Amino acid sequence: MEKPSEQTSMKEKHSLRLQVPLGLLAILFAGVLIYGFVFYARDRIGREQPIPFSHRVHVNDKKISCFFCHAEAMSTARAGVPPLETCMLCHARIAVAYPPIEKLRKHYFENRPVVWTRIHILPEFVYFDHSLHVRRQVDCSYCHGNVAQMDRVVLQQKLEMGFCVGCHKATKTSHDCYICHR
Amino acid sequence: MTLSRRTFMKVAAIGGATLASDSGVKSVGKLVPSVNLPEPLQPAAWQTVATTCRECPAGCGMHIRQVNGRITKAEGNPGHPVNRGGLCPRGQSALQGIYDPDRVSGVRVRDESTGAFRQESWQKAMEEIGGRLAKANGRVAVLSRLETGSLAEIMTAFAQSFGSDRVLLYEAFAYDPLRKAHGLLLGRPIIPFYHLNEAAYILSFGADFLESWVSNVQFAWQFADMHELKDGRIGRFDYVGPRLSMTAANADRFFPVVPGRERDVALALLKVMHAEGMIRNGRDVIGPAVANIDVRSSGLPGQDLRAMAERLSTPKAVALAGPVGATGPAADQLAQVVTLLNIAAGSIGTIIDFSAPHALSHTAGEDQVASFLNTLTPEDVLIIHKTNPVYTRPGSRALIRKAGLVVCLGTMLDETASLADWFLPVHDDLESWGEYEPWAGVRSLMQPTMRPLGASMDAGDALIRLAASRQKVMRTGPNGAAPGSTRDWLEQRWRSQGRTGWEESLRKGGSWPAGDAAARQGAELRQAALSLKQSAGIEFRSDEAALWLWPSIMLFDGRTANRGWMQEAPEPVSTFAWDSWIDLHPKKAQVLGIEEGDMIELSSLENLSIQASARVTEEIAAEAVAISFGQGHTALGSLAANRGANAFLLLPAGMKVEGYFGRVTIKKTGRAEANAAGMSTTQQHERELLQWVNLDQARTMKPGPLTLPLEEGYTPERDLYPPHKHKGHRWAMTIDLQRCIGCGACAIACYAENNIAVVGKRRFREGRHLPWLRIVPYRRHDKDPLRIGWLPMLCQHCDSAPCEPVCPVFASVNNEEGLNAQIYNRCIGTRYCSNNCPYKVRRFNWLNIKWEQQLTWQLNPEVTVRVRGVMEKCTFCIQRIRSAQHRAKRENRKVKDGEVQPACVQSCPAKVFTFGDLLDPASKVSKITREHPRRYHVLEELNTKPAVTYLFRILQEEKSKT
């Protein structure tokens, strides 16, 4: 009696030995898939923002100029994310009951800034000046993609050195190191 | 469950790979825009705010550069009459004061049970201190650093509202002897204005006016102006004193004398002038005063004395009396003799102007300080504001403890604050409203340059609220208003004095008379009973010497000791940093068997002693030892505490001693610690890096040959590589060595502008500090060891740069505007470039340096913070060049000459540097480089074609009489 049972238990033990790691692997694989999909989605659909601001609505539907909000792009190195008071120029009256706008107004009246997630990031050793590029008639979409058709902003062009230098070469602009690096 | 090692490794590897496979974007991606943007501000655009420097009583005008609400750089206000755009190292370090990691942010109260500090709220502080004040029955005393204007008024009104008139303005360096001498002889006990720029001859008796004496930045530009060769004429400066200080090293002749014997020299000079009939004024007072003086006992050769007397008797000669920080009979006598010399030379009312007294004239004299401290009793409530008497006057510790309640208003827990019952954190000077009047008529304003960092309160507001908590109303005058804050007080005072243009003044930095409008004022010589005595031959035992204490330009009276820049900045003459040292003459050292770096102990006659390592040098009088003030803190912060020795401990009580600081005995301790020197050598080794030219030659000099860093500098026979073609600009610099006083302001400006890390004492000593610009105090040569010139050495931006061809990855490249660019993200750290650089200006990052909070806020966002393994060096402030170019482009114009100012150029008090475009023939830098007779390149023979052109330093040799 004892022997066979011992055998089966041995078998069970063997199968268990295989099953546990395999199961673990399967869970991990699923995890990788989900995780990968999240990143895929993030890159394709765009990252979630604290307030679902849609460039498509503002640029395409309402025909608001880029420089209405990103006014500094004409005069300084940074394009600048507008202060909340700029939003309030319209949303003091428009769509005040829409929940995301309610949230925005709450931020404004509580004097609490909105912390946006950054999409276009330059490494800290690169110095880019918006005003000079805008003055040279470089269209915003050349680097930032067609935001007029984006609800969430998607990184369409990675801001890497090859991209910068390619354009500088094509337009016979200087590609001296000190143009961008310092 | 069993999991084999193999399976575990597999699982771990997959999991790790998943976690690591982020999309490659750094996690720094947050954008936080403001809710309401103040009207004139633009994000990421630079703003400049004008305020006043309060790092010492000089009161220079400052421009604070600010971006995104953070201040990153302090510069001199070019329109300010005191400093005219320059700013000394201390003033620039104000930023490290506001961002000091050890700054206290909350109210502290002494816990009665434990005796340690604990946190408390402002409200509770107001209640409790207010309660004590109400019960004090007029026993209220206020002790503050020097303040003028509104805050001084607030403090007086505060004391008055509690029925007291005890307000003492205390400065460690109060120039008491000078004020007393002016009072005694001229009836004006003040520190007058000095027009040193107009002087033809300056004779200083231990007055280090380029470092610490009264108003060092002002005297720096004034001195540079008078000491410049203009139309064949040049001013002359002699220095009589015990130590070759930075100021003394700028003299055309340095006469080393034992401390206390400057007086003998001055008296002998007076005697010679009297005997030779060279006296312009005051003959009837000076005659009897010098009747018994023996000229020979001065210790100086007769011909030198005569030469000095002759120079003093020429028009526009002036004598200055030191030492800084001494009081007592010897210092009094020196000040009297020097005042007589000025009267005899006729400089009162011309160079020395009594129409505009310095604010220091309002500080308490020695007697007032002593009586203030001695009358403190347990009934007293003592309010101390931003001053540290426990450190600068060690005897005051016990006296301050006697007060019943000590309330300290400050930013740091210094020695005095550590004694207090309450510590109230007040705004840093850069966060405060205020005003300061350095010279009468120059009313300089202070305004907040950024929002306060912590839970601090304005000092004046704290006093107003303390009074208000007891229903006391403080008024600006007998029938004046009762402003609720310092800011209102300031504005109302400004307007009530009939001054218009409050906004305009805020923008400008204050109000002052335009030009040199005010009429000069002299003072009448009074008949005074003088008993001027010679020091009658001081004798020293072999282990004794006269003590000489001096404030350095970096640490002054010790208030800046917790700032990395100030600790790491090499002292201009010795190049030492991060510690105290004792200067000792080789003769004395030999007798006592002391070697360089030995720890020695100095004991005063009162048996107080300090220890520091020895610097054996001929740059001090044989019978003297010298140590600087500023180190040896027991509190203040982590950088300052327990570092070096506190020289104030040796200050004799009552100062009734011979010399200025008494005599000390020197003892070897047996221990040794190598001094931390910033330069590996200060000898030229016959390489003629810093060149001198005799005055006679300088007058008739023609420009020497120079290979310019341009296409025209290319010669096929000498050059290996083809010439560079420059696009638009070729940036270049000239450095006038004759104007350079060695203060090191430019180097600190470079630290601030370019995010240069502070490395600490050990790595400093190993030579691993990172200055892009070093000021080397080169000794002229062996035969003239006491003559020093400073060579500001920065990247020369060579046209044939030896660093470039050796870089395997092209991280070191020649830029199209002629700059030698170092590209950090390309650099792999081979250090070949540094090995091949003949100027040794490249610095390697051996470590990642941790920037303490809040010091990170000081970082310039336009300059990369370098990491370990990267070579770095001067960029000619490329960020400033670019910002000027971009500005010009936006405005559709060309960059103007002088528009680009690298940080060193901007900050220089003596205006040594000229920066500009060499391709523009009309630019100042082109003219100097191409035409100046004293131009030269360092190591021209290497044909590196540097873009930095130096101008010879001028040697004013004694004319041998034939």
Concatenated DSSP letters of B247-314 = HHHTSSEEEE--TT-HHHHHHHHHHHHHHTT---S-HHHHHHHTTT--GGGGSS-HHHHHHHHHHHTS
Q: Which residues of A, range 43-82, sit inside 8 Å of B by Cβ?
A: 43, 72, 75-78, 80-82
**pLDDT tier at B15, thresholds 50, 70, 90:** very low
pLDDT score of B20 more than 50? no
The predicted pLDDT at position B9 comes to 53
Q: Which domains does chain B have, with CATH numbers?
A: 107-172+364-511 (3.40.50.740), 176-360 (3.40.228.10), 544-672 (2.40.40.20), 692-955 (3.30.70.20)
Q: State how far residue B24 is from chain A, nearest Cα, in angstroms.
A: 11
The predicted pLDDT at position B517 comes to 61
Out of A20, A85, A121, the one facing B35 most closely (by C-beta) is A85
SS3 B642: coil
The predicted pLDDT at position B662 comes to 86
**pLDDT tier at B247, thresholds 50, 70, 90:** very high
Task: Check CB contact under 8 Å for A72 and B15.
Answer: no
The residues near B207 (Cβ < 8 Å, ≥ 6 apart) are B213, B247, B320, B321, B322, B323, B324
Q: Considering Cα of A130, then A131, then A135, then A140, what sign does the dihedral take? A: positive
User: Which segment of A87-101, B524-538, B821-835 scores lowest on mean pLDDT?
Assistant: B524-538
In chain B, the percentage of residues whose pLDDT exceeds 70 is 95
Distance (Å, whole) CA B676 – CA B577: 6
Task: Pick the more confident residue, B101 or B9.
Answer: B101
Contact B731, B881 (CB under 8 A): yes
The predicted pLDDT at position B23 comes to 35
- State both tokens at B535: 């020091």
Task: Pick the more confident residue, B188 or B515.
Answer: B188
Task: Check CB contact under 8 Å for B43 and A119.
Answer: no
The CA distances from residue A85 to A109, A111, B187, in Å, are 10, 10, 63
Out of B10, B30, B816, the one facing A117 most closely (by C-beta) is B30
Task: Check CB contact under 8 Å for B813 and A174.
Answer: no
In DSSP terms, B456 is beta-bridged to none
Task: Pick the more confident residue, B24 or B563.
Answer: B563
Amino acid at B474: M
Distance (Å, whole) CA B297 – CA A17: 104
pLDDT score of B465 more than 60? yes
The predicted pLDDT at position B577 comes to 95
Tell me the pLDDT tens digit for each residue of B484-538: 899 999 998 888 887 668 889 999 999 998 866 678 888 888 877 778 888 766 7
**A13 touching chain B per CB within 8 A:** no
Distance (Å, whole) CA B798 – CA B326: 49
Task: Check CB contact under 8 Å for B864 and A35.
Answer: no
pLDDT score of A9 more than 60? no
Q: What is the mean pLDDT of residues B249-278?
A: 92
Q: State how far residue B854 is from chain A, nearest Cα, in angstroms.
A: 20
Distance (Å, whole) CA B697 – CA B709: 27
**pLDDT tier at B237, thresholds 50, 70, 90:** very high
Closest among B389, B745, B370, B759 to B559, alpha carbons compared: B389
Contact B295, B268 (CB under 8 A): yes
Q: What is the mean pLDDT of residues B118-132?
A: 93
Alpha helices in A60-110 (DSSP H): 66-69, 84-91, 99-109
- State both tokens at A21: 């790691």
**pLDDT tier at B652, thresholds 50, 70, 90:** confident
Residues of A in contact with B879 (CB under 8 A): 127, 182
Tell if the pTM clears 0.95, that is, is over it: no
Contact B429, B457 (CB under 8 A): no
Out of A85, A116, A121, the one facing B37 most closely (by C-beta) is A85
In chain B, the percentage of residues whose pLDDT exceeds 90 is 76
Task: Check CB contact under 8 Å for B33 and A81.
Answer: yes
- Please give the interface size between A and B, counted as residue pairs whose CB atoms are below 8 Å apart: 139
Q: What is the mean pLDDT of residues B539-552?
A: 91
Residue whose entry in the numeric block shows the structure tokens 């100029």: A65
In degrees and rounded to multiples of 5, residue B687 shows phi and psi of: -95, -10
The predicted pLDDT at position B1 comes to 47
Nearest residue in A to B825, CA atom? A125
**pLDDT tier at B17, thresholds 50, 70, 90:** very low
**pLDDT tier at A46, thresholds 50, 70, 90:** confident
The predicted pLDDT at position B16 comes to 44
Residues of B in contact with A27 (CB under 8 A): none
Distance (Å, whole) CA B723 – CA B959: 47
The predicted pLDDT at position A57 comes to 94
Distance (Å, whole) CA B797 – CA B820: 5
Where b means 16+ CB within 10 Å and e means fewer, B100-122 reads: bbbbbebbbbbeeeeeebeebeb
Q: What is the mean pLDDT of residues B596-608?
A: 91
DSSP A89: H
SS3 B451: coil
Residues of B in contact with A20 (CB under 8 A): 1, 3
Out of A77, A85, A176, the one facing B36 most closely (by C-beta) is A85
The predicted pLDDT at position A37 comes to 76
**pLDDT tier at B845, thresholds 50, 70, 90:** very high
User: Which segment of A91-95, B41-45, B278-282, B830-834 scores lowest on mean pLDDT?
Assistant: B41-45
Out of B2, B15, B43, the one facing A17 most closely (by C-beta) is B2
Q: What is the mean pLDDT of residues A87-112?
A: 93
Residue whose entry in the numeric block shows the structure tokens 């500088």: A168
Q: State how far residue A154 is from chain B, nearest Cα, in angstroms.
A: 13
The CA distances from residue B303 to B195, B215, B306, B308, B954, in Å, are 29, 33, 5, 9, 23
Q: What is the mean pLDDT of residues B355-383?
A: 93
Distance (Å, whole) CA B639 – CA B562: 5
Task: Pick the more confident residue, B909 or B654.
Answer: B909
User: Which segment of A117-126, B806-815, B837-846, B943-952 scores lowest on mean pLDDT?
Assistant: A117-126
The predicted pLDDT at position B282 comes to 87
The predicted pLDDT at position B46 comes to 86
Closest among B741, B733, B821, B819 to B775, alpha carbons compared: B741
In DSSP terms, B955 is beta-bridged to B694
**pLDDT tier at B962, thresholds 50, 70, 90:** very low
Out of A20, A76, A129, the one facing B42 most closely (by C-beta) is A76
Directed axis angle between helix B150-161 and helix B486-496, to 10°? 110
In degrees and rounded to multiples of 5, residue B221 shows phi and psi of: -70, -35
Task: Pick the more confident residue, B782 or B923.
Answer: B923
Numbers of helices and strands, H then E, in chain B: 28, 38
Q: What is the mean pLDDT of residues B468-491?
A: 87
pLDDT score of A52 more than 80? yes
Distance (Å, whole) CA A157 – CA A164: 11
Numbers of helices and strands, H then E, in chain A: 9, 1
Distance (Å, whole) CA B258 – CA B660: 11
pLDDT score of B483 more than 50? yes
The residues near B849 (Cβ < 8 Å, ≥ 6 apart) are B757, B758, B759
What do you get for the CA distance between the two ends of chain B, in Å? Answer: 107
